[in-house]
Chains A and B, each alone.
Chain A
Amino acid sequence: MAHKVGVVVFPGSNCDRDAYNAFGSVLRGDVRFLWHKETSIDGVDVIVLPGGFSYGDYLRSGAIARFSPIMTEVTKFASRGGIVLGICNGFQILVETGILPGALVKNESLKFICRQVHIRTETTATPFTSSLKLGQVLKVPIAHGDGNYYADDETLKRLQDNDQIVFRYSSTDGKITRDANPNGSVLNIAGIVNERKNVLGMMPHPERASEEILGSDGGVGVLKSIMENLN
């Protein structure tokens, strides 16, 4: 039986269809949308918090969506060890909720950046990267104004010590340089997991790079890893 993927739809989500397509058409999962007002997520094996501009990014990106009724269920699901993938605005919602540490602040350049970037796989010991190779460079797009990851030194040390930094912005050949950092994120961080490693937040969009016709299939390995780990 196909695994059930739930894609949460907030008012202002705009990558929910991309996620639906990637998990459904590309990976043959059984996908359904979860309206943010739903209070039951029974039978879902994976939850995706998609990209977009939930509640118009008012107050702070993700700050209002985190109080949507479904987030209580998402938090419970995550604390039971359920797999949660937050992409872009989804990542912002996860840090606002406190499921992931740190914060996402305005890009250093003040500009909204929409382009392809390269990210390097920093750990394969997560259900999101188990089918990738350590150090593997993925070509995936970013599209955000508030993607500049910040955490205090103590939090960063904990992230490093526990192997929670999953992706860092890199050059095409996998070098972590300042030039490769599009938004000013500390340590070039593009994605992190929680301590238990069942929740991933990342600013780049793997679902928008899930088949060649979209310009790159560089993100498909992330989605594939998730599906393989459900077996």
Chain B
Amino acid sequence: MFKARVEVTLKEKILDPQGKAIESSLRNLSFSTLNHVRTGKNIDISVAEDSLDKAISTVRLACEKLLANPVTEEYECEIFNDGGDSLARFSNRRTPAVTITERANN
């Protein structure tokens, strides 16, 4: 069993009106050093696969097919074990496609 957290954000060149509204509210509250607000959404999923490779490929497929719209959005996904340790990270944003998280005590 694994857990996946998928973070979906709008591509940089797509206008994020919600981010803009938050930004102007921050300005009204005198947060003069806070700029360029971008919003997104988190999707948490339990993954019933027996290997990390399978968990990665299944979640990646779900991201490509449903969770993010490749025309306007980017996704970043982190896979955890049951104990909450981060095992891998991947996204459609940058290479390398998958980074296996280094564990400090290994």
Residue of A nearest to B17 (CB): A110
A150 touches B72 (CB 8 A): yes
B1-20: contact bitstring with A at CB < 8 Å (1 yes, 0 no)? 00000000010001101101
What chain B residues lie within 8 Å of A152 (beta carbons)? Answer: 71
B15 touches A110 (CB 8 A): no
Q: Min CB distance, A13 to chain B, in Å?
A: 20
Could you give 29 example pairs across A and B, Cβ below 8 Å?
Answer: A59-B66, A63-B66, A63-B69, A67-B66, A96-B69, A102-B71, A103-B69, A103-B71, A103-B72, A105-B10, A105-B14, A105-B72, A106-B17, A106-B18, A107-B17, A108-B15, A108-B17, A109-B17, A110-B17, A110-B18, A110-B20, A110-B21, A148-B15, A150-B14, A150-B71, A150-B72, A151-B71, A152-B71, A184-B15
Q: Give how many A residues have a beta carbon under 8 Å from the other chain's beta carbons.
A: 20
A82-109: contact bitstring with B at CB < 8 Å (1 yes, 0 no)? 0000000000000110000011011111
- Cα-based distance from A184 to B66 in the complex (angstroms): 25
- Cα-based distance from A209 to B66 in the complex (angstroms): 34
What chain A residues lie within 8 Å of B20 (beta carbons)? Answer: 110
* Interface residues in chain A, defined as those with a beta carbon under 8 Å from any beta carbon in chain B: 59-60, 63-64, 67, 95-96, 102-103, 105-110, 148, 150-152, 184
What chain B residues lie within 8 Å of A151 (beta carbons)? Answer: 71
What chain A residues lie within 8 Å of B67 (beta carbons)? Answer: 59
Name the residue in B14, B18, B72 with the highest tally of chain A Cβ atoms < 10 Å from its Cβ. B72
- Cα-based distance from A106 to B71 in the complex (angstroms): 14
What chain B residues lie within 8 Å of A64 (beta carbons)? Answer: 66
Q: Min CB distance, B60 to chain A, in Å?
A: 17
Q: Min CB distance, A66 to chain B, in Å?
A: 9
B66 touches A105 (CB 8 A): no
What chain A residues lie within 8 Å of B10 (beta carbons)? Answer: 105
- Cα-based distance from A63 to B15 in the complex (angstroms): 19
Closest 5 CB pairs between A and B?
Answer: A103-B71, A110-B17, A103-B72, A106-B17, A105-B72
Residue of B nearest to A104 (CB): B72
- Cα-based distance from A152 to B21 in the complex (angstroms): 24
What chain A residues lie within 8 Å of B66 (beta carbons)? Answer: 59, 63-64, 67
Q: Min CB distance, B8 to chain A, in Å?
A: 9
What chain B residues lie within 8 Å of A107 (beta carbons)? Answer: 17
Q: Min CB distance, B88 to chain A, in Å?
A: 24
Q: Min CB distance, B74 to chain A, in Å?
A: 13
What chain A residues lie within 8 Å of B71 (beta carbons)? Answer: 95, 102-103, 150-152
